[in-house]
């Protein structure tokens, strides 16, 4: 009997079979001269696909992201052999999988010489220091391409390498602010009026993916068309404004400036998040878990909306707002959503989910990280996984966000201490002896 489509997908994407399949970027080598999240995530995506990625950090303390997040537990995640009493913060965790860790001081001529040696044996470089910094140090694209014309050089930063603001440093939140994202996130004026930032570094991780996409395009161009490398920049601010959906076109066409609309949707109704009245964990000692839950409700088609209004015993609203054109108006949503919340005020988000699902109304409780971590769906598909990390033992990690049937991405390890692979990389690619490496270490070059 032929497989069903679900059975076929379960078979070809089975996480248990990943390590028996080839890696699409095996044999490619990239230097990751990156810090924080934007640049590191770009290189991380390449490493997930099998590229040999060498993460180069400053000696001993490593890059700043190791120190800018809480839970620096030295027993679990020691910083370096020179500083075993210090740990690496978990914010470093999600953007440095599968990489080899080399420590080199970019500021010193001996360190710059090492970068040049490695670049001559690599397919590309990813870096996100301030625009022009590596060029000033003599290890930017203009210099490296002189001796390796096939090198692909991806620079990621806040505002681009030219134009107003190019010298400013950028972070995820700054990119969202200047790119316009905060103008449409948060509540409208009559409900508090404050913009709402993304607690997660969404612009960094998305920007890193865009950078990896550019690199793949340039590898195809080099290997199939030109034979030459490429110099690329990615502007975090420009990437942020690409998230604005129809907002730019709406202003250009009609001169309208979209405003914040909270947990409702300006284009579809009902399609928003409502507050339930009860906590899912009434006996918890965690104050966050004692908070009332939230649930997404989506019933924007006329028939689904009528069904939802019947469920909450508000047939009057089903008649009043029978068409979507009537529901989408701001004043309409201000009446509809409170009515749904009134129905949910004596329910947990799970109880609301069960009732809505039984009636065929699309919904999704808003899960926290604990609830996500315990979802069978993610573990079954390998999108959450326990790694038997060779350095740290069992660690839970997000898996790759996509699946390939014949050459899948994978995680081999989470990350390593600063300079953990110095001897391996410098011996293999630079031919340094142990005596030479000891001298460089004593001089704080590595």
| 302: CATH | 3.30.1540.10
Residue that is last in its domain, among 371, 395, 426? 371
In a domain, 431, yes or no: yes
Q: Is the pLDDT of residue 76 over 80?
A: no
Domain co-membership, 58 together with 133: yes
Share of the chain above pLDDT 70, in %: 98
Mean pLDDT of 183-200: 86
Q: Which domain holds residue 189?
A: 5-242+382-442
In sequence order, the 6+-apart residues with CB closer than 8 A to the CB of 159 are: 131, 165, 166, 168, 170, 235, 236, 237
Residue that is last in its domain, among 371, 401, 432? 371
Domain co-membership, 355 together with 425: no
pLDDT in tens, 258-268: 889 999 999 99
pLDDT in tens, 25-51: 999 999 999 999 999 999 999 999 999
Residue that is last in its domain, among 347, 371, 395? 371
- Predicted confidence band of residue 86 (pLDDT cuts 50, 70, 90): confident
In a domain, 261, yes or no: no
Domain co-membership, 305 together with 388: no
In a domain, 291, yes or no: yes
pLDDT in tens, 131-151: 999 999 999 999 999 999 999
In a domain, 248, yes or no: no
pLDDT in tens, 330-356: 999 999 999 999 999 999 999 999 999
Domain co-membership, 72 together with 118: yes
Q: Is the pLDDT of residue 361 over 70?
A: yes
Domain co-membership, 176 together with 323: no
pLDDT in tens, 205-231: 999 999 999 999 999 999 999 999 999
Domain co-membership, 232 together with 306: no
In a domain, 207, yes or no: yes
Domain co-membership, 392 together with 365: no
* Total count of domains within the chain: 2
**For position 437, which CATH number holds?**
3.40.50.10540
Q: What is the pLDDT of residue 71?
A: 64
In a domain, 26, yes or no: yes
- Predicted confidence band of residue 280 (pLDDT cuts 50, 70, 90): very high
Domain co-membership, 193 together with 317: no
Domain co-membership, 234 together with 182: yes
Domain co-membership, 222 together with 362: no
Higher pLDDT, 185 or 229: 229
Domain co-membership, 166 together with 298: no
Q: Is the pLDDT of residue 75 over 70?
A: no
Least confident residue range of 1-15, 67-81, 108-122, 390-404: 67-81
In a domain, 251, yes or no: no
Domain co-membership, 425 together with 356: no
Q: Is the pLDDT of residue 237 over 90?
A: no
Mean pLDDT of 105-122: 97
In a domain, 247, yes or no: no
Q: Is the pLDDT of residue 431 over 70?
A: yes
């Amino acid at each position: 009997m032929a497989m069903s489509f679900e059975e076929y997908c379960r078979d070809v994407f089975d996480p248990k079979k990943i390590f028996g399949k080839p890696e699409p970027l095996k044999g490619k080598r990239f230097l990751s001269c990156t810090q924080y999240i934007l640049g590191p995530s770009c290189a991380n995506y390449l490493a997930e696909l099998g590229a040999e990625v060498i993460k180069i950090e400053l000696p001993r303390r490593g890059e700043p992201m190791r120190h800018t997040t809480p839970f620096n537990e030295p027993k679990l995640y020691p910083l370096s052999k020179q500083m075993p009493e210090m740990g690496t913060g978990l914010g470093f965790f999600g953007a440095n999988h599968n990489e080899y860790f080399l420590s080199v001081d970019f500021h010193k001529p001996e360190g710059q010489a090492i970068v040049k040696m490695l670049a001559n044996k690599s397919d590309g470089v990813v870096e996100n220091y301030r625009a022009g910094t590596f060029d000033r140090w003599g290890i930017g694209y203009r210099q490296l391409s002189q001796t390796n014309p096939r090198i692909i050089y991806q620079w990621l930063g806040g505002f681009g390498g030219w134009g107003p603001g190019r010298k400013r440093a950028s972070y995820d939140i700054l990119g969202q602010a200047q790119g316009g994202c905060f103008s449409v996130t948060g509540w409208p004026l009559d409900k508090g009026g404050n913009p709402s930032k993304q607690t997660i570094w969404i612009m960094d991780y998305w920007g890193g993916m865009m950078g990896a996409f550019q690199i793949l395009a340039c590898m195809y161009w080099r290997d199939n068309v030109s034979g030459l490398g490429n110099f690329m920049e990615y502007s975090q601010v420009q990437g942020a404004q690409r998230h604005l959906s129809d907002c730019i076109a709406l202003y250009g066409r009609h001169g309208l400036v979209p405003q914040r609309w909270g947990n409702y949707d300006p284009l579809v109704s009902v399609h928003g998040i409502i507050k339930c009245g009860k906590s899912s964990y009434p006996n918890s000692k965690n104050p966050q878990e004692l908070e009332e839950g939230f649930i997404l409700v989506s019933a924007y088609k006329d028939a689904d909306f009528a069904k939802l209004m019947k469920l909450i015993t508000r047939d009057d609203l089903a008649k009043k707002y029978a068409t979507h054109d009537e529901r989408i108006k701001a004043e309409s949503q201000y009446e509809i959503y409170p009515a749904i919340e009134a129905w949910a005020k004596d329910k947990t988000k799970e109880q609301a989910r069960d009732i809505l699902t039984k009636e065929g109304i699309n919904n999704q409780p808003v899960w926290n990280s604990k609830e996500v971590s315990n979802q069978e769906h993610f573990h079954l598909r390998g999108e959450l996984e326990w790694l038997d990390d060779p350095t740290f033992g069992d660690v839970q990690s997000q898996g790759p966000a996509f699946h390939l049937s014949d050459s899948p991405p994978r995680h081999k390890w989470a990350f390593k201490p600063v300079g953990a692979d110095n001897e391996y990389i410098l011996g293999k690619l630079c031919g340094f002896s142990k005596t030479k490496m000891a001298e460089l270490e004593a001089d704080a070059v590595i």
